Amino acid sequence: SWSRAPVCQHPPTAAAGRRTECLCSTSMRLRGVGRRYGLAGPWVLRGVDLDVPAGSLTRVEGTNGSGKSTLLRLLAGIDAPTSGRITGRPRTAYVPERFPAELPFSVLGYLTHLGRIHGLGRTEAARGAGEWLERFGADEYAATPLAELSKGTSQKVAVAQALLAAPALLVLDEAWTGLDRTARGVLDEAVAERVADGAAVVFVDHDPRRLSGAPDAVFRVADARLEPVPGPVAGGPPKSGEAP
């Protein structure tokens, strides 16, 4: 279910040898952000102002090639703005539109490696990796090389690596694509859990019914600009009978 804690319930704590921030205190801001490729290239994004508060769910819409993925890469810190400023980026995890399955790891080795990059100890990372693989129904592939996975299983691994360290900002670029129905439901649940725990989630998905009624804000990218989409938001989970 979709819920937001009315007061901070997440004081800073020591975990995995490091001090974690209170999720409720994190808020990311984009001011006048623009991105273009090359000195004379066209602007993919321009003049973007966006607040991403803790404990919020934000949907980004737009046609193919409009700049949605560029915006998500900026939010995730994978790309840097050509102009403007981004401040307050918390611990962030990102599911890209295309998963790099050619990496020389087994599934468990890759997830453990990513968990350690996110600050987890080796034992904690391996345990968390196993738990997420089991939750997504992919635990039988723990020892399988990434290059030998099907597209659907690769996508489960891509999502698991982002959820592994409980990020304060979760950025999802078409993360449901390629997942089977059960796994899509698991991801829906995981998104709700992150938001309820005080994290921010920003997502793009081609299905307009994805997490229908749950977003706190919806934005559309068009003509290099980001504009709010009017309409009801944060109304609850998908209605009965809607396909996930």
**How many residues comprise the chain?**
244
Homologous superfamily (CATH) of 24-91+169-235 is P-loop containing nucleotide triphosphate hydrolases (3.40.50.300)
Query: What is the residue extent of each domain of the chain?
Result: 24-91+169-235, 101-166
Strands (E), 119-211: 169-173, 200-204
Q: Model-level pTM?
A: 0.85
Please tell me the distance from the alpha carbon of residue 22 to that of residue 53, in angstroms, as a whole number. 13
From first to last of its 244 residues, the chain has per-residue pLDDT tens of 555 544 344 444 333 333 344 545 558 999 999 999 988 899 999 999 999 999 999 999 999 999 999 999 999 999 999 999 999 999 999 999 888 777 889 999 999 999 998 888 999 999 999 999 999 999 999 999 999 999 999 999 999 999 998 999 999 999 999 999 999 999 999 999 999 999 999 999 999 999 988 999 999 999 999 999 987 655 444 433 444 4
Phi (first) and psi of residue 91, to 5 degrees:
-60, 125
